[in-house]
Amino acid sequence: MTASIQTPPLAAGSLFVPRLRAMTVGSVALVSLLAFEALAVGTAMPTVARALDGLSLYGIAFGGPFAAGVVAMVLSGAWCDSRGPRAPMWCGLAGFVAGLLLAGGATAMGTLVVGRIVQGFGSGLLSVALYVIVAQAYPEHLHRRIFAAFAAAWVVPSLVGPVVAGLVVEHFGWRWVFLAVPVVAVPAVLLIHPGLRSIGPVRSAGAAVRRRAHTLRRIGWACGAGVSAALLHIGGQQRGATAAALVGLALVGLLICAPRLLPAGFLRAGRGLPTVVGLRGLAAGAFVAAEVVIPLMLSRERGFSPTAAGLVLTTGALAWSLGSWVQGRIRAPRSRATLPRAGLTCITVGTVVVGCTVAPAVPVWVGVLGWAVAGLGMGLLYPSLSVLTLELSRPGEQGRNSSSLQLCDSLAAATVLALTGALLAAGAAPGPYSYAGTLAVAAGLALVGALLAGRVLPAAP
């Protein structure tokens, strides 16, 4: 017998009508906590490594959670489709909280790494479950608004997370970067839980059995992709032949495993969902490549302090939030391709403008304006791709397709980050040509996405 989803009736154009209020607050709070923890750990980890004498495990403390998250996203997608998002949500919360408590109480670096891996696994389960909750609990005309709220929930931690984490480490100790988050995470999920009662699986039990072997294969490929992603993180922190070997091995692993986790036709930019997922990866890669090089370029070539360089990146984060807000409030465009094309065009133009500041004669404010344009493009693009993913997903495939979207984002960002690090470390010291080359690659990725944006429209029947 097939369990049915109770499709919510069309509500007023607000995320805070009584039926949705608690779920909206809880979901946005949970996304914000996931973002804060992802960003804050980077600030705390140097202190943690010194305190636990664990510098040798520093790379795996980042690569391990990332690998676990890749596997968890695939598992969560299949789980949500077959059983509904309730169990993945609670198991994700349990893993997230248990990992934070284990890391916060660690007396050895090995224990902290285990905690980080458990935390990463829980985060992966939660992130996909949240997308499925949006698909099944919110009316379609509110999807762009809730994804805009999720984007804002990421922007705020990106602005204050590192600063808050630094203050916590300095005044309270590094352990509280991990131990304080569960105090808010549990109430956030409790707010979401009542709304999950009307959400169930959409596949019959027989269909779930028939797809079990396929799911197990996907989890196997996810393990391969996760290990490859972890090697990218570790290899990116090495130098010389070791770095080249690890990064090369990781790239081969990703080329073998990742396409099997993404929609059929992904590599040839097939119409519809394959292109939607591919655009997410291209945008993530472009933005990350530029974001890494900008503070380095400003500090080395223009004499900016770390704080001043960070403020330049803040303009991009604020513009991202603005773009998300705008796309959530404009009327539905005539074509599904309009917002993705506009977003990727903004990223391309903004990155090219930033690249112009490699020349000493170009004022820095030009680059600041360019980065704001790129951030605006990300705000227009990301929520619109999330909405398209749900629109193009048949019932029973929302979890799998949501996990594909997030996997492509994560794997593309990790790959570009590792390759960018290798490019910048290739010479004795990064210089104008290194910065210009990296920004040209970033702009090129975004331009390819803009040219392909029309393919988000499915082929005519």
| DSSP code string of 154-202 | HHHHHHHHHHHHHHHHHHT-THHHHHSTHHHHHHHHHHHGGGGGG----
- What is the Cα–Cα distance from 182 to 180, expressed in whole angstroms? 6
Structure tokens belonging to residue 411: 């794997």
What does the domain layout of the chain look like in residue ranges?
265-455
| H helices present in 302-337, as ranges | 306-329
What CATH number should be reported for the domain whose range is 265-455?
A: 1.20.1250.20
Mean pLDDT of the residues in the chain: 83
Residues 6+ apart with CB under 8 A from 91: 122, 125
Contact between residue 189 and residue 26 where contact means Cβ atoms under 8 Å apart: yes
Asked which of 82-96, 101-115, 225-239, 253-267 is least confident by mean pLDDT, the reply is: 225-239
Q: Is 181 left (phi over 0), alpha (psi -120 to 50) or beta?
A: alpha
What's the mean pLDDT in 218-243? 79
Q: How far is CA 35 from CA 160, 173, 195, 201, 285, in A?
A: 11, 20, 23, 28, 18
What's the mean pLDDT in 26-53? 84
Contact between residue 152 and residue 317 where contact means Cβ atoms under 8 Å apart: no
Residue 204 has pLDDT above 80, yes or no: no
Q: How many CB atoms neighbour CB 56 within 10 A?
A: 9
Asked which of 3-7, 75-79, 257-261 is least confident by mean pLDDT, the reply is: 3-7
Does residue 58 or residue 403 have the better pLDDT?
403
* pLDDT above 90 as % of the chain: 28
Q: How many CB atoms neighbour CB 320 within 10 A?
A: 26
Q: What is the pLDDT of residue 216?
A: 80
The model's pTM is 0.83
Structure tokens belonging to residue 201: 């699986």
Helix, strand counts (H, E) of the chain: 16, 0
Q: What is the pLDDT of residue 4?
A: 39
- What is the Cα–Cα distance from 114 to 103, expressed in whole angstroms? 8
Q: What is the pLDDT of residue 275?
A: 95
Asked which of 8-12, 244-248, 347-351 is least confident by mean pLDDT, the reply is: 8-12
Q: What is the pLDDT of residue 1?
A: 35
Q: What is the pLDDT of residue 371?
A: 94
- What is the Cα–Cα distance from 23 to 453, expressed in whole angstroms? 32
Asked which of 135-139, 154-158, 402-406 is least confident by mean pLDDT, the reply is: 154-158
Residue 449 has pLDDT above 90, yes or no: yes
